[in-house]
Structure 1
């Protein structure tokens, strides 16, 4: 009876290892999404908060469609948190395709004051660094995290004749 039990345990172990291998191939490595900030539009706010709609261009360089059913993001400027937002929007980013997703964000009065204080040293600086981080929710194994960094350049003032 001991030999039978050992055979069943080894067979079970082999089945578990095969199942884990199948799961790994099912949820294989994906290339990271490419996220670009493409718009920032004012929205109605309440009290001392400012509201904006952030527009993100999400590019999927993978051979699989990315399904999502929610998005969360944080926006930092000059290394300081500025805005955060969530949306229960759902949809798909096609394989080797792209989609623009809108997310409402809030800027607290404290965050706005902190940013203004940082800029109070003179005229607006060119090249203010920003960072966006967040996630596209897609269920237990489908959540995709993203991060994008860039520089905000203000338009040059128009010279008056």
Structure 2
């Protein structure tokens, strides 16, 4: 190839790349926060919890959530974990509250309570973590919240 053809070819590539760069819009990551974490009425001896996540889309494009994986530590021990792929598409400039229903093994809770000396009415510390995966080019988002609750 002669020098003139190379320069012409290089010029075309630069124009194409700069044109593609202007087509890609900046995407702000979705904002995810723990809306609520509360015990549910038990069915039998297995404690259940309702976990609500608020997911906010600050963009003009919709997001398709592939799935959410989550875990809850109580008194430093992971007792609850789960996954869901039943999440609605997050429309542009909108927010959704996603409800997760989580169970806890009774024997793990008994071991925790007897080892920690906790009884009904005492406060228990928790740590909630979640990973939200999106379809497409949106990066995975991670959430961590801490707090406490009492046993009734």
Residue 87 of structure 2 corresponds to residue 90 of structure 1: yes
CA distance in 1, matches of 2:131, 2:47: 18
* Correspondent of 1:149 among 136, 142, 145: 145
Shift of 1:58: 1.1
Unaligned 5+ residue runs, structure 1? Answer: none
Aligned residue for 2:6, secondary structure, equals: helix
Partner of 1:9: 10
Structure with the higher fraction of residues in strand conformation: 2
Q: Mark the CA change 1:113 to 1:51 in structure 2 (over 3 Å): closer, same or farther.
A: closer
Which residue pairs with 1:30 in the alignment?
Answer: 29
Q: 1:5 to 1:58 in 2, by over 3 A?
A: same
With normalisation by structure 1, the TM-score equals: 0.64
C-alpha contact 1:71 1:103 (8 A) present in aligned 2: no
Equivalences, count: 149
Q: d(CA) in 2 for partners of 1:20 and 1:115?
A: 54
Shift of 1:85: 0.9
| SS, match of residue 79 in structure 2 | strand
After superposition, give the CA deviation of every residue in 1:91-149 in whole Å (9 maximum; x if it has no partner). 134555443323343545775466335523x54643613223221x3313245523131
Once the two structures are superposed, residues 14-36 of structure 1 have per-residue CA deviations (whole angstroms, 9 ceiling, x without a partner) of 4235424533x2x5223522332
From 70, 75, 80, the counterpart of 2:72: 75
The alignment partner of 2:134 has SS state of coil
What is the alpha-carbon root mean square deviation over aligned residues? Answer: 3.7
Match of 1:102 in 2: 99
